[in-house]
Amino acid sequence: MKKFIVLLFIISAIALFNSCDKTGTNTSKKSAMQDDAIEQKVDSVLALMNLKEKIGQMVQYSASWDVTGPASAEGDKFKEEKLKKGEVGSMLNVTSVEAVRNAQKLVMENSRLKIPLIFAYDVIHGYKTIFPIPLGESASWDLDIIEKSARIAAKETSAAGMQWTFAPMIDISRDARWGRIMEGSGEDTYLGSKIGVARIKGFQGDDLSKNNTIAACAKHFAGYGFGEAGRDYNTVNIGEHELHNVILPPFKAAAEAGVATFMNAFNEIDGIPATGSKVLQRDLLKGEWGWNGFIVSDWGSIGEMIAHGFAKDKKHAAEIALNAGSDMDMESYAYEAELEKLIEENKVKLSDIDDAVKRILRLKFQLGLFDDPYKYCDEEREKNEIYTKEHLEIARDVAKRSIVLLKNDTVKKSTLLPLSKDINSIAVIGPLADDKDTPLGNWRAHGEYNSAISLLEGVKAAVGNSTKIYYEKGVELTSKTVEPGENQFLHHIEYNTTDRSGIAAAVNAAKKAEVVLLAIGENAYQTGEGRSQTNIGFIGLQQELLEAVYAVNKNIVIVLMNGRPMDIAWAAEHVPSILECWHLGSQSGYAISDVLFGDYNPSGKLPVSFPYNVGQEPLYYNQKNTGRPMSTQVTYSGYNDAPKEALFPFGYGLSYTNFTYSKLSLDKSEMDKGGEIKVSVNVTNNGSRDGEEVVQLYIRDLVGSLTRPIKELKGFNKVMIKAGETKTINFTINAETLQFYTVNKKWEVESGEFNVWVGGSSTTNNMAKFTVN
């Protein structure tokens, strides 16, 4: 009888939803009716649940066993029994249609209420078709292509049975030592906000109930990218105004874009772990911002509050986390063990548990899992919609747009790049030249080991039979052979510092070639979670290889593969051409060759500043001025042994053509706080090639109630300009452009004088002035 009543409630709710879906022609009205229907269904299911079942929805397990077969270890058997009882809300790392179907069956065929699971996975830059790492993709400054890559990732992930990804990471980071900088969009708040929203749109599409979209997760809330000394998980010490002006805006933009979930952060801010911050989670995100999704903890972060010294035991940690607003416990086992007792002791409120459960159920209804728990379990889609030719073509397009030309000096009256496909000879040298794994980068989901197109393969495919190619590895990057996937779990990778046996052959190859393509940088596991480094230069014998090759052939193009800004000061001083190629994904070698041989004119711009050396870190373009910003005297804010500016600044990137800016104009010199100013500038392509330019708008508030950055990105436009063509690019400056979190602890525009720049990088001096009354 109980099962019949449960079924009746759910069928009635679904019928109500379907009837609402067919009424009304106005889109917003229809959406509101659908939302109302979902809320009624959520309430109806919640009313049927007992406390254990409610708490169960707040539990997420990782699949530590083969869910296509029986559990073996005691811990696995425990998880299986919890699934059968309906006391688990979500699983992660269940990654195939068969595995998802079998795990879902445990719930649907055994539990009392048959509330479906939601399955999650870290799909960071592609599922099996791997795109550039997020930092690299951000260098495209192309929001459409970024959204498209997330769309492909969602299609493949959903075809493999999953409905939820832990992406995008929208942490602002300004420290190249932090290994996880590769997973974000760089150092700038405005750019990071725009890219984060593009990725959310790509993952979630226009309708989460479609079986080819997935729920996104904005992470890590908040401050994770500001860990002291660039050390992962480390303490964050920032002021309230820096938090609101620099770190939180991308999360606010994500909430406004309708991101389905948030993930809290490992770090503490001002003594309070983010997982236990009521101010961040319950007051700001759920309260002031009015966001109605749910918050999942990062892996074990609820339990880690014990190690922080913020909770005395797991019970105390569960109390803090729930009261702070953390809805789902990922792998801490704190909620399932302690919340019942905490309710009995009146240390947590049942209303807060109900609120968390409603948020989780809401997403499951939005995904359509109550309509069909197996709607993502389609073997035909899994077979036909993953790693397709179309997806690989898009991956190549995204990759070539992510490449940044850092340097291209004139050699013998012309620039070294682009190369002719009829060139007589090329030496392809370096430990990463024929590496088919490193281009996949870290966090490569189901990207297959050694599946990327290597640089050597790309070059061979690009040139004709008459071109002689000399390949030599030169040096091994590591001193230990590592099995596929093993690198991911090594805390310290053993890099080669002694074996120079291959350098002589590399030098000999360089002597015979017209041009050297030198592939050096970082392997796939030098960046990523837990991969902080104090050495951000060429690890191992790579610098020695570079200098040995340079001694016999100056015509070098460095093909830089990396996941962070690097110290490449020697190379920048000596080598004529440098291509920043990041870890570009499945089609890396083809994309690099597209740029090397001029089939694509590079258009990427740096989303992070490159330092002269690691001692400058953290380094970013939008610094404060200080009271002693510059001087010829000793007593100013700089270094005695290095410049204070970046080697290659934020927003910088060259092209095979030349763009000039002229006639920067404002339609007025004054505006009211609620008004607007129109900005226009002429951009001319003075070269012989068509090319794309990222036109960037920066402002400075000269005097504020708080000190303001010397320059802030407030707009950009990526535009194709044909050779010899001039285009007028327009921007609008308004209250949204100028507001900041002021000394009054609110967002507002202040009166005063402002500078505005428009140009091709953050160092542009093409400036105008205006006043806000």
174-231: pLDDT as tens digits: 999 999 999 999 999 999 999 999 999 999 999 999 999 999 999 999 999 999 999 9
Mean pLDDT of all residues in 273-282: 98
Q: pLDDT (tens digit, 9 = 90+) per residue, 250-259?
A: 999 999 999 9
Per-residue pLDDT, 18: 44
Q: pLDDT (tens digit, 9 = 90+) per residue, 523-556?
A: 999 999 999 999 999 999 999 999 999 999 999 9
Phi, psi of 25, deg, nearest 5: -110, -15
Report whether pLDDT(98) > 70: yes
Residues β-bridged to residue 578: 407, 558
Nearest partner of 111 among 46, 56, 59, 43, judged by Cα: 56
Q: pLDDT (tens digit, 9 = 90+) per residue, 583-638?
A: 999 999 999 999 999 999 999 999 999 999 999 999 999 999 999 887 667 788 99
Is-contact 440 130, C-beta < 8 A? yes
Gap between the Cα atoms of 651 and 654, Å rounded: 10
% of the chain surpassing 90 pLDDT: 89
Q: Length of the chain in residues, anyone?
A: 773
Gap between the Cα atoms of 480 and 486, Å rounded: 11
Q: What angle do CA 252, 253, 256 make, to 5 degrees?
A: 85
Confidence band for 274, pLDDT divided at 50, 70 and 90:
very high
Per-residue pLDDT, 73: 75
Report whether pLDDT(17) > 70: no
Q: What is the DSSP string of 240-266?
A: HHHIIIIISHHHHHHHHTT-SEEEE-S
- Amino acid identity for residue 94 in this structure: V
Q: pLDDT (tens digit, 9 = 90+) per residue, 704-754?
A: 999 999 999 999 999 999 999 999 999 999 999 999 999 999 999 999 999
Residue carrying structure tokens 């209250």: 735
Is-contact 222 274, C-beta < 8 A? yes
Mean pLDDT of all residues in 455-466: 97
Would you call 298 a catalytic residue per the annotation?
Answer: yes
Q: The whole model's pTM is what?
A: 0.95
Q: Which of 298, 378, 435, 594 is catalytic?
A: 298
Gap between the Cα atoms of 542 and 506, Å rounded: 12
- Pairing relationship of beta strands 329-330 and 59-62 according to DSSP bridges: parallel
Gap between the Cα atoms of 322 and 335, Å rounded: 8
Residues β-bridged to residue 425: 468
Is-contact 644 616, C-beta < 8 A? yes
